[in-house]
Amino acid sequence: MSGVTLNSVRKTYPNGAEAIRGVDMQINSGELIVFVGPSGCGKSTLLRMVAGLESISDGQIKIGDRVINDVSPSERDVAMVFQNYALYPHMSVRGNMSYGLKNRKMPKDEIERRVNEAAAMLKIDQFLDRQPNQLSGGQRQRVAMGRAIVRNPQVFLFDEPLSNLDAKLRVQMRIEIKKLQRRMDVTSIYVTHDQTEAMTLADRLAVINEGRIEQMGAPMELYSDPKTLFVASFIGAPQINLLPVRYDGTQLSNGSLAFTGFADLPQDTDLVLGVRPDMLRHDPEGQFELRVDLVEQHGGENLVYGALLGARDAEGDDLEICLKGPQDLLPEMETVLRLGFDPSAAFVFRKDTGERLL
């Protein structure tokens, strides 16, 4: 097995769109890397450049020690699972799985052996003679995985493979993909915009924004130590609460609200205070108040949404925040809860650059 190396990789589409603006990345052998980011940030483009489906405008991509910029997709030794599965509709499951092997002129009995093995692993052996349109979405997904597995590639590439499945199946397949990847120990790149999927699957996450890597690291590292406002707001569900604030030398303030316990911050610029919903506590001594709009019961925990009294967002409207509490926290609508948080756990960002200060 081998890793993947990207050296200042760029992609400019013929229409002038700059999709990738210089990406450096080292993916270790056997590692599962997840690309996350908002729609249009260039995740698919980057993945497809590794696959060889898009040309590389500038920079270098290596699989192992081999530079693959000019190697055709089929000779890169990568396999890809597509969002809509891209199964050949007129071929049986067996035909779909063996097509790539046949093109490689592999002996018949070896093809047979590999297909049967992969089918057993994915529990699709009873469907081998069916056509894709006689399978459910989840089964098609497995066939698509099977088609990738039989090739025994150096690298697996997944482009949002689960987004056409229902929520329950998505969780189940996610676990299976993880197990399979562990078992086969194949270097993998997985693209998704679902941040739960990203957090749970990844060995390391790469958050991509406008064609650049915003931050790369283990999921928990990105969650608890985001380097930028973008990463903090992208990682974590429910989303982090963001309050526009100014620093006056002693405290952070927004409207009539003030937060103490912060030091060494610039006074001449707009700042953003970031507090995750689970950092907020219901606390009679707390520094501020929340007027409850909505309570969502998620079973083990409750999410309380409401307006932060005395604070205004950038447009001057009520500032909506979210608090994650235990399941017995069930305030009535319109009641006021007093809240507090530990200032040392909160994040402070510069508003203009998004850089994290604290």
Ligand X SMILES: Nc1ncnc2c1ncn2[C@@H]1O[C@H](COP(=O)(O)OP(=O)(O)OP(=O)(O)O)[C@@H](O)[C@H]1O
Going residue by residue from 190 to 209, which x/- string records binding to ligand X, judged by CB under 6 A? ---x----------------
Cβ contact 202:190 at 8 Å: yes
Cβ contact 252:231 at 8 Å: no
By beta-carbon proximity to other proteins, the closer residue of 83 and 287 is 83
By beta-carbon proximity to ligand X, the closer residue of 11 and 151 is 11
Pick the piece of the chain touching Mg ion (CB under 5 A) from 8-16, 37-45, 113-121, 175-183: 37-45
Q: How far apart are CA 202 and CA 235, in angstroms?
A: 13
CB of 273 to other proteins, least distance (A): 44
Pick the piece of the chain touching ligand X (CB under 6 A) from 22-30, 38-46, 194-202, 295-303: 38-46
CB of 177 to other proteins, least distance (A): 18
Q: How far apart are CA 5 and CA 299, in angstroms?
A: 43
Among 3, 6, 27, 43, binds ligand X (CB under 6 A): 43
User: Does the CA dihedral 156-162-167-170 come out positive or negative?
Assistant: negative
44 forms part of the interface with Mg ion (CB under 5 A): yes
By beta-carbon proximity to ligand X, the closer residue of 52 and 325 is 52
Q: How far apart are CA 305 and CA 324, in angstroms?
A: 9
By beta-carbon proximity to ligand X, the closer residue of 41 and 271 is 41
45 forms part of the interface with ligand X (CB under 6 A): yes
Helix (H), strand (E), coil (C) string for the chain: CCCEEEEEEEEECCCCCEEEEEEEEEECCCCEEEEECCCCCCHHHHHHHHHCCCCCCEEEEEECCEECCCCCHHHCCEEEECCCCCCCCCCCHHHHHHHHHHHCCCCHHHHHHHHHHHHHHHCCHHHCCCCHHHCCHHHHHHHHHHHHHHCCCCEEEEECCCCCCCHHHHHHHHHHHHHHHHHHCCEEEEECCCHHHHHHHCCEEEEEECCEEEEEECHHHHHHCCCEHHHHHHCCCCCCEEEEEEECCCCEEECCEEECCCCCCCCCCCEEEEECCCCCEECCCCCEEEEEEEEEECCCEEEEEEEEEEEECCCCCEEEEEEEEECCCCCCCCCEEEEECCHHHCEEEECCCCEECC
Which positions touch other proteins (CB under 8 A)?
Answer: 51-53, 72-75, 78-80, 82-84, 86-90, 99-100, 103-104, 133, 147
CB of 48 to ligand X, least distance (A): 7
Pick the piece of the chain touching ligand X (CB under 6 A) from 15-23, 56-64, 139-147, 343-351: 15-23
In the complex, residue closest to ligand X by CB: 44
CB of 165 to other proteins, least distance (A): 16
CB of 69 to other proteins, least distance (A): 16
By beta-carbon proximity to ligand X, the closer residue of 40 and 266 is 40
By beta-carbon proximity to other proteins, the closer residue of 74 and 327 is 74
By beta-carbon proximity to other proteins, the closer residue of 44 and 195 is 44
84 forms part of the interface with ligand X (CB under 6 A): no
Q: Which does residue 82 bind out of Mg ion, other proteins, ligand X, none, counting CB within 5 to 8 angstroms by kind?
A: other proteins
- Give how many residues touch ligand X by CB under 6 A: 13
40 forms part of the interface with ligand X (CB under 6 A): yes
Q: Which does residue 196 bind out of ligand X, Mg ion, other proteins, none, counting CB within 5 to 8 angstroms by kind?
A: none
Residues lying near ligand X in the complex (CB under 6 A) are found at 13, 15, 17, 19, 37, 39-45, 193
Residues lying near Mg ion in the complex (CB under 5 A) are found at 44
